[in-house]
């Protein structure tokens, strides 16, 4: 995770946070977390975060996990072309094939071709499942209207 993101997050009042690696081992932690646990920074570094939660006084506290994927993982998410993303947004908004064809300047057959490719890419049996799966996988941003594809998924 970007150190600037970590510092910004931990600057919020009352936030006790630790940055952990992929194995769950503490890399760094906020001063508030050290204080909350009554220990020195060196006592936390190298320890598994689950040990802290279960044994060191954080039981019953709310725990938030933020994941910052590495660049290799992010690059593998770029599964849609710009046209795919426009078609997916239209399908998610309930736009008819004919209207979508006009919007993206393709024939109806061209739109159906892209929809078929999207169904294949997301392994969805129909348009309803396609939209549902796109939201579930984070491809379509939640809480937006009209539906928008998250830019991280576009080549």
Let me know: does 81 contact 88? Beta carbons within 8 Å. Answer: no
What local confidence, expressed as pLDDT, does residue 109 receive? 97
Contacts of 42 (CB under 8 A, 6+ apart): none
Let me know: does 32 contact 15? Beta carbons within 8 Å. Answer: yes
Handedness of CA 107, 111, 112, 113 (dihedral sign): positive
What local confidence, expressed as pLDDT, does residue 3 receive? 58
Q: Is 142 helix (H, G, I), strand (E, B) or coil?
A: coil
What local confidence, expressed as pLDDT, does residue 1 receive? 47
C-alpha–C-alpha distance, residues 50 and 60, integer Å: 13
Q: Give the tens place of pLDDT for each residue, 58-89.
A: 555 566 655 555 544 444 578 899 999 999 99
What local confidence, expressed as pLDDT, does residue 77 receive? 74
What local confidence, expressed as pLDDT, does residue 73 receive? 47
Q: What proportion of the chain, given as a percentage, has pLDDT over 70?
A: 75
Q: Which helix or strand (DSSP H or E) is residue 19 part of? A: strand 18-20
| pTM as predicted | 0.55
C-alpha–C-alpha distance, residues 51 and 58, integer Å: 10
Taking Cα atoms as reference points, which of 55, 76, 50 lies closest to residue 65? Answer: 50
Q: Is 18 helix (H, G, I), strand (E, B) or coil?
A: strand
For 21-70, where are the alpha helices, taking DSSP H only?
Answer: 31-37, 41-44, 49-55
Domains of the chain: 3-68 (no CATH), 76-153 (1.10.10.10)
C-alpha–C-alpha distance, residues 86 and 37, integer Å: 49
Residues of the chain whose pLDDT is less than 50? 1, 71-75
What local confidence, expressed as pLDDT, does residue 9 receive? 63
């Amino acid at each position: 995770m970007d150190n600037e993101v970590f510092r910004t997050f931990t600057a919020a009042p009352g936030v006790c946070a630790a940055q952990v690696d992929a194995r769950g081992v503490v890399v760094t932690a906020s001063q508030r977390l050290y204080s909350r646990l009554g220990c020195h920074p060196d006592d936390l570094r190298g320890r598994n975060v689950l040990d802290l939660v279960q044994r060191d006084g954080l039981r019953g506290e709310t725990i938030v996990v933020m994941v910052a994927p590495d660049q290799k993982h992010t690059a593998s998410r770029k599964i849609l072309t710009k046209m795919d993303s426009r078609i997916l947004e239209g399908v998610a908004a309930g736009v008819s094939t004919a209207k979508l064809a006009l919007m993206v300047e393709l024939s109806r057959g061209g739109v159906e071709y892209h929809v078929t490719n999207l169904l294949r890419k997301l392994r969805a049996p129909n348009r309803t499942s396609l939209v549902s799966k796109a939201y579930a996988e984070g491809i379509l941003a939640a809480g937006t209207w009209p539906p928008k594809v998250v830019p991280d998924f576009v080549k």
